[in-house]
Amino acid sequence: MAYKSWMEGLNRFFEWFMNIAYLNILWILFTLLGGVVLGAAPSTSAMFAVIRKLFLAEEKVPVTRLFLTYYRKDFFKINGLFYCFVVMGIILLADVYFLMGMNSEIAAVFLILVGFLSVIYVIALIMFFPVYSHYDVRFFSYFKHSIFIGIMRPLHVLTMAIGIFVSYYVMLFLPALFFFFGMSLGALIIGSVCHHIFLKIDNSTITQ
């Protein structure tokens, strides 16, 4: 009985291993298919959506079909949302560059404020794709949900950041792994932590 349980666990591990590696290849292909500029966001969104399904499903998940479905369905919407993030990031960078060129106390105060906003921006960006794959809300509500959930769960965000840093640090010594896990491993780390967060939020909402 113990041997059977051990073999089932090992089989489950290899299924995840293959799915995550395959997802990364799909991400690369469809990012390039969209000319990178238009392909990166829907590919990333589709990857997070499939990872969410992998956590929820009890049976085998049709990875390719689901990836293609989400890629096509969310193509324009996710690009619109993502490039709102890009514009906000450019504005923050421009503010930092401008303020660092000024030598005054007022500039230093504003630089601290922009630094604080930049931290919130990074938190929202980390949370954005899992939030998008889990919730169906109005266009700009995705930003609000990403910021609010991220700020309310700082330890979870820190766990994600540490996990991503460690995994990519290891991959620096094994560059070939980037082809199979360059994006999907980070998505798996973020997706697994966010899956735990969303379950707690959804359960607390149901019990209220």
- Longest pairwise C-alpha distance within the chain: 72
Q: What is the mean pLDDT of residues 112-131?
A: 94
Q: DSSP E strands: which ranges in the chain?
A: none
SS3 173: coil
Task: Name the residue range of residue 161's domain.
Answer: 2-207
CB 6 within 8 A of CB 12: no
The predicted structure's pLDDT at residue 2: 56
Q: How many CA atoms lie within 13 A of 17 on its CB side?
A: 7
- Cα 116 to chain centroid distance, Å, stands at 21
32-55 per-position pLDDT tens digit: 999 999 999 999 999 999 999 999
Task: Count up the domains in the chain and report the number.
Answer: 1
The predicted structure's pLDDT at residue 15: 86
Give the pTM. 0.90
Q: Taking each helix axis from N to C terminus, what angle separates 2-33 and 184-207, rounded to the nearest 10 degrees? A: 110
The predicted structure's pLDDT at residue 205: 57
Q: pLDDT over 70 for what percent of the chain?
A: 93
Q: pLDDT over 90 for what percent of the chain?
A: 68
Cα–Cα distance between 73 and 89 in angstroms, integer? 26
